[in-house]
Copies of this chain bind each other. A is one copy, B any other.
Amino acid sequence: MDAGLEAMLIEQGKKAKKAARFLATASTELKNKALFKMAESLEAYEEEILAGNSRDLEEGRKAGLSSAMLERLTLNPSRIKAMADGLREIALLPDPVGEVLEMVRRPNGLDIGRIRTPIGVIGIIYESRPNVTADAAGLCLKSGNAILLRGGEEAINSNRAIAKAIAQAAMSCGIPEGAIQLVDSTDREAALYMMKMHEYIDVLIPRGGKGLKKAVQENAMVPVIMTGMGNCHVYIDEFADMEKAVRIAFNAKVQRPSVCNACETLLVHERIAPQFLPLIAEKYREAGVEMRGCARTRAIIGGIKEATEADWEEEYLDLIIAIKVVSSLEEAIEHINTYGTGHSEAIVTENYTHSRLFMVAVDAAAVYTNASTRFTDGGVFGFGAEMGISTQKLHARGPMGLRELTTVKFIIYGDGQVRE
């Protein structure tokens, strides 16, 4: 790779590491002061941020970005205000650092406990929505971590303006320069190099699609928390309440189809299918949802496409749903554990034992009985804000708030004890 780019990244890594040591012992008071100042600064830099955003939108239009992409990229005064308010909310959340999780006195008189500490340097690779720049920086600062932000090419001018506004504000409060840094390169090599910076980055959080996931799996030498792959299912059990079933299956697909906690495949027990499928099909048709069904589904709902193996694997993120009739709860669980991405999975049932088995046997970050998968979200779960939704099993699973951006260490207090 380009030697200049490598030198820049190493320099940023060193600065971040140094800043992380400062942040490890920074007071909550200082961090909160910086967060409020950063919020103020975002509002003060509104003009500059909107100018950067206009350039991004213009180039995006030239590059033929979809209208959905352009919508996600778009900033306006109220979105900037929302970013600023997000930082203020983070300031008001309790500081996770320093919490002692437990402490016990061992027989030899040692007091042994575990205390929450920052992780160190966090790298994030993300796309399109520029508000992630402010959210991620705020969450990392509050949890005592330095951050290296690597946003997408399509948002580079917006991200530059946002990062400048917040980093300067933080520095004006005494936070070191290395604490919040934009990796100012849209070169793909920069993202690949970040994946290998194990001397400088303690954890890398990729937020993106399959391509990014694959690149990370193949290249990362840094510990990684994968986020946001969501092939989610709703299973309508034979003992489902019909009204709840229709409501949840509809909401999980239609309310916001472009997000990772939306439902992609509907599984329906064969005993309830003849009654349920025509009801939901009518609602889906009204909402413009394209249905793709297995043979048994198509025997009940006419005029829909056939679902293939590829459909069970697909994360549509669109008004499309795959539908499969299953013969048992066990078949539904097996299907979910085979094709699911471990994000959010729901059963609709009035049967106690079926709920209990589903909740235990389904292997996912969030499992629901009688509620829409759409609730998997840091805000809804009460974390205030989130750094992404982890779909891996190590360290953090599901929405990642401030707590998930910390690690723990053992603290041991003695009176001169030695080991015999």
Contact = CB atoms under 8 A, between A and B. Distances in A.
B397 A410 contact: yes
Interface in A376-402: 376, 380-382, 392-395, 397-398
Contact of A367 (B256, B372, B409, B420): B409
Q: Is the interface of A mostly helix, strand, loop or mixed?
A: mixed
Contacts of A364: 409
B25 A361 contact: yes
A397 B419 contact: no
A115 to B, nearest CB: 8
Interface string A217-229: 1100101110000
Contact of A375 (B221, B367, B407, B419): B419
Contacts of A202: 393
A415 interface: yes
B241 A412 contact: no
Interface stretch (A83-91, A157-165, A179-187, A247-255): A247-255
Interface string A346-381: 000000000001011101111111111011100011
A412 B367 contact: yes
Contacts of A413: 368-371
Contacts of A409: 363-367, 397-398
A203 B414 contact: no
Given A221-B218, A366-B409, A393-B203, A416 B110 contact: no
Contacts of A357: 25
Given A375-B417, A393-B203, A381 B410 contact: yes
Interface of A: 21, 24-25, 98, 104, 106, 110, 112, 115, 117, 119-120, 198, 202-203, 217-218, 221, 223-225, 241, 243-244, 247-248, 250-252, 255-256, 337, 357, 359-361, 363-372, 374-376, 380-382, 392-395, 397-398, 407-420
7 contacts: A248-B416, A359-B411, A363-B409, A371-B418, A372-B418, A381-B410, A393-B407
